[in-house]
Structure 1
Amino acid sequence: MSRHHSRICGMLLLAGGVLLAELGGAGLAQAEPTAPPASAPLFQPGPGGNGKTTPGADAPRLASVDNFRDVAGTGAGYPAAHGKTVNRGVFYRSNAIVPNDADLATLAGLSLTTAYDLRGPDEITQKQDKLPAGVNYVNIPVIAGNIDEFIANIHTPEDARAAMQDGNRKNVTGATERAGYATLLTGLTNTGGAQVFHCSAGKDRTGWVTYLLLSIAGVAPTTIMDDYLLTNEYTKDSMIKTLAYIKQSQGEAAAAKWEPLLGVDKSYLQAGIDQLAADYGTVDKYLADGLGLSPDTINKLRVKLTH
């Protein structure tokens, strides 16, 4: 693979977060993400909530870690089952945590206890986490496949979309994926304090874990999907910059081919959900039979998620 092509792959894998094998390439777009607006939240839970509110501000919008957010959403938190609400300030999700000094100080104010990194060694080499003092770092690699084969099989935008859908199916069928998610969910359950989990772009592996957590809490499927799609808003500026580089270096056709890898699409997560339904029937059965989590762990996690 040429240095130029390798740089493109690195940008796609780390900026776009390819789910099948986010194994880093030779470089990244040099521009930092544009600072997001600190105005109204991008998504508010719809009607039908229990009216409860959670004190304190929403999760901060970070300029240098643009897909950092609270699993519970914004405002009062997402409505959950049995009239409850998802607890804010408990679980955060993110892309690679490489903050500038101002964002590092903001993260320090969240009193995080643990950061879980779902990336493989090559990804970590590209962007090593930079965490506030005292935060415990745990690496749980959730990777499968071969990057060269993955890239070689993508010739059209349709190929890219199909690859992302297949990657989400592997969250259900893949032994490596299931083992990693089991370890992560067990850690989230048994560790105290605020915790954050992430992959490279914070959208694929991270998106699947968030789907599981919100499902455990009993959040409505439409709300879960809306939350999943927020990646396209949070990382819009980064995606624009990455596409601009590809257009400049490889042309319009190449940019069109790779664009589906950079964001998320409803069909990506839905492919994993449909596979879960086909193989296990319910999320609880997937957690128990697919991930090997005990009923006690699942119940403890459900209690931790909601109030």
Structure 2
Amino acid sequence: MSSPAVDALQRALATAPGQPSRHVPLEGASNFRDLGGYRTAAGQQVRWRTLFRSDRLSELTAADQATLAQLAVRHSIDFRGADEQRTHAYTIATLQRIAIPIEPQVVQDMQALLAAGDALDAATAHRLMQQTYVAFVHENTAQYRQFFEVLLRHETPLLFHCTAGKDRTGFAAALLLELLGVPRATIEADYLLTNLLYRQPQLPDNHLPAPVLDVLWRVHPDFLHTAYREIEHAWGSVQNYAAEALGLNNAAITELRHRYLDVTPATPRR
């Protein structure tokens, strides 16, 4: 069934004739997609087949791995926490994994609430997810600084991912697109594509109500808006946050744009 929200996501997912598909269909990952083709306010375009975001890669099939090789992806930035990396490890011969662990704070917070005997509902889950994004801004600056260091150091194409490819990955993508000059409405549309693409895992009974799980396995504009509010309250702007917290001066941002933007739309490599 169509709705304005779904229609907006479909438009974000669509690409112009002659351009690659934004969503790369894989058997073992559902949220693997290209950040290429997004236009900046200055009229440039993010390069196709250069930056990819994804959910976890531990279930990729041989055919999926062949697709990665065909895309020439050589590096993966893995934002998953230590237990996630250990439980769902992956080794892909053509891919160098770079671990930048961000522990899933919302899981720890929920476990603490349950241990205290508190009930969980959708509103509580929503609040905990907002707190997770506050933590991204204030407590995970070292990890996101390292993320940009990798982007500036390694050859492309490359991908970055977490478990679902929605929160740790979504915040990283938002920061990157913001610094490349992509308008915020486009950034939010890309962020929300998770709700159209991600296949929630089949989990054993963990006694969490369905409305809580629905919050945990989806993204909401409030989550990203919370991060932006925190940045703008503490630093005044994303650009100031990048300079003061992430160590990205004007020269670094210029280099990011040189690496990842086309001055005019180019014919992409399929």
Classify the TM-score, shorter chain: 0.7 to 0.9
Q: Higher relative contact order by CA 8 Å / sep ≥ 6: 1 or 2?
A: 2
AA aligned to 1:121 is A
| Pair 54,85 (structure 1): closer, same or farther in 2 beyond 3 Å | farther
Uncovered stretches (5+) of structure 1, i.e. residues with no partner:
1-40
Q: What letter matches 2:167 in structure 1?
A: D
Letter of the 1:92 counterpart: F
Decide which of 69, 73, 81 is 1:108's aligned counterpart: 69
1:189 deviates by 1.4
Separation in 2 of the partners of 1:220 and 1:55?
20
Q: Following superposition of structure 1 onto structure 2, how do residues 279-290 of structure 1 map, counting pairs within 5 Å?
A: 279-290=234-245
The question of whether the paired residues in 1 share the 8 Å contact of 2:38 and 2:182 is answered with: yes
Seq. identity, %: 29
Letter in 2 for 1:223: T
What is residue 261 of structure 1 aligned with on the other side?
216
Deviations 1:165-211 (A, max 9, x none): 1111111111xx10001011111112112011111111111000100
Listed one character per residue, the Cα deviations across residues 121-164 of structure 1 (whole Å, up to 9, x for unaligned) are: 20012211242x23221111122758444333262111100010
Give the paired residue count.
248
Structure-2 residue corresponding to 1:238: 200
The one-character-per-residue Cα deviations of 1:241-261 (angstroms, maximum 9, x if unpaired) are 55xx65xx74xx722233211
Query: Does residue 86 in structure 1 map to residue 46 in structure 2?
Result: yes
Matches within 5 A, 1:116-135: 116-131=77-92, 133-135=93-95
- Per-residue deviation, 1:44: 3.7
Cα distance in 1 for partners of 2:151, 2:48 equals: 14
Alpha-carbon distance between aligned partners in 1 of 2:23 and 2:213, rounded to the nearest angstrom: 31
Q: What's the TM-score once normalised by structure 2's chain length?
A: 0.83
> Contact 1:81–1:219 (CA<8 Å) still a contact in 2?
yes
* Conserved? CA contact 1:59–1:89, under 8 Å: no
| Aligned mates of 1:56, 1:233 — CA distance in 2 | 18
Offset from partner CA, 1:95-119 (integer Å, 9 cap, x none)? 1112012211111111112111111
Alignment of 1:113-262 (within 5 A): 113-131=74-92, 133-143=93-103, 145=105, 147-153=107-113, 155-174=120-139, 177-235=140-198, 237-238=199-200, 241-242=202-203, 246=205, 250=207, 254-262=209-217
Q: Which runs of 5+ in 2 are unaligned?
A: 1-8, 114-118, 263-270
CA RMSD of aligned residues (A): 2.5
Give the direction of change, closer, same or farther, for the CA distance of 1:58–1:269 in structure 2 (3 Å limit): closer
Q: 1:79 to 1:145 in 2, by over 3 A?
A: closer
SS in structure 2 at match of 1:200:
coil
Secondary structure (helix, strand or coil) at the match of 1:171 reads helix
Mean Cα deviation higher: 137-146 or 213-222: 137-146
Q: TM-score, length-normalised on structure 1?
A: 0.74
